[in-house]
Amino acid sequence: MHIGRMLIMTLILGLFGQFYANAEQPLKLEAKEGFYQFPFFDTQTAVWSYNDQIPGPLIRGRVGTTLVIDFANRLKEPSSIHWHGLRIENAMDGVPGVTQDPVGPGENFTYRLKLEDAGTFWYHPHFNSSEQLERGLKGVFIVEEAEKQPWSQDWVWLMDDWLFQKDGTIYPHFNTGRDLMHDGRWGNAPTINGNFRPEYQAKPGERIRLRIINGANARVFSPHIEGLSANIIAVDGRPVTKIFVLDRFVLSPGNRIDLDIRIPEQSGGKIFIVEDRFTRKAFELASIKVDQSEPIKSPKFIPPTEANFIPAQMFEKVKGEKTWDLNAIRGGKFGIGWTMNQKLWPDADKVDYPLGLPRKIIFKNNSSRLHPMHIHGVFFRVLERNGQKAVEQFTRDTVLVGPRESVTIGFVPEHTGIWLTHCHIQEHAEAGMMTTIEVKN
Ligand code: C2O
Ligand code: CU
């Protein structure tokens, strides 16, 4: 690759659009066809994007405020926007056929989002999702804490994974037998914010907040930073119960982590490599370059934790649980269907829960594939894996259920409405692996 082109890429990335929003100034998100210059090719690649940006604009709002977002669908097919992880009014959740009508080509829809929780979230379509996300429709949504945070930098990395053909076009067949027999569509070009192996600049002594979002259709990441100490301070947008060291944390599609990274005062001139270690073949994702400047005094503070948020003890007396059996069958739209209790969406085995009572769910994977299971509009706690107590030091909205594994989770329905529950491997979801939890007052 050309040095010149690399410089231009870095410049473009530096400018990659940010929105600071509030209710008085609605944001406009326009889904449309366009082009993007990836660093891999000499030609531009046809993509679908929000506001002509890959990834879509980084949205920042403050906790407690209401954001208004005008969505304009300028694609040739229906779409919608789902705000992954945000606890919002059900009517704003962006699921066609469940919480709203699909937004047709040329139509608009106004989302009003009351920001209840501060943290790292993201947004993406919920219609023909395996194709719409893969073609580029996704963006990060940060809800800022009420007070200014003490980190010197706040980096946001939206991980993606593109499947390109040699001519620089996106492989145009979706939900293929190959995707469906495996763990969805894995690509051949991992990117961070649309860039390849970006280099980030730091100063000795800095403390940096790094938010990592897995926005890929199917690829699982497990980021590792060689030589640097990094603590996980939030998972799936929510402060952890107890801060812990980043060590083989598995970031499945949908998951987010917030890291507290300390750049040692004695590390001027060093380059730290961030690599992915999920598969047997580790590869570089990005690098962090420390400049030669005078060390800055590393700020001393303890990031917030949430010891009392849906503690595991809350579920000790809960009797009975819902079990969803995850498996594949022949049939469905694509010849291979992914089921929850033998049913394919929209003919799903749904569940009704009353408001406010702790509930347990078991995701029982009877297949040998991966299923990152996601529930809309709630945070849950992992209680057991394969029947063994496995309390995690954090809550989640997406949990990876491995081959033949069974995962028990606990949560408290706190918002009424119909909340979608599905595998976040987009191809599995499109092939039927979705259902709903209806919460009634
Ligand atoms: Cu990212 Cu239905 O979710
Ligand atoms: Cu799956």
Q: Please name the helix (run of DSSP H) or strand (run of DSSP E) that holds residue 3, with its range, or none.
A: helix 3-14
Residues 82 and 102: beta-carbon distance below 8 Å = no
Neighbours of 197 (CB within 10 A): 16
Joined together, the tokens standing for residue 137 give 């429709």
Does the beta carbon of 374 lie inside 6 Å of ligand 1? yes
**135 pocket-lining for ligand 1 (C-beta < 6 Å):** no
pLDDT, tens digit, 9 for 90 and up, residues 211-234:
999 999 999 999 999 999 899 999
Ligand 1 contact, 428 CB (< 6 A):
no
Ligand 1 pocket check for 138: Cβ under 6 Å: no
Question: Is pLDDT of 78 > 60?
Answer: yes
Residue with tokens 């979608």: 420
List beta partners, residue 232.
244, 259
Q: Is 145 helix (H, G, I), strand (E, B) or coil?
A: coil
- pLDDT tens per residue, range 80-127: 999 999 999 999 999 999 999 999 999 999 999 999 999 999 999 999
Ligand 2 centre and the CA of 98: distance in Å? 20
Say if residues 196 and 160 touch (Cβ distance below 8 Å). no
Q: What is the DSSP string of 313-374?
A: GGGTT----EEEEEEEEE-STTSEEEEETTB-TTS---EEEETT--EEEEEEE-SSS-EEEE
Do 385 and 441 contact (CB within 8 A), yes or no?
A: no
Q: Is the pLDDT of residue 24 over 90?
A: no
- Supply the mean pLDDT for the chain: 94
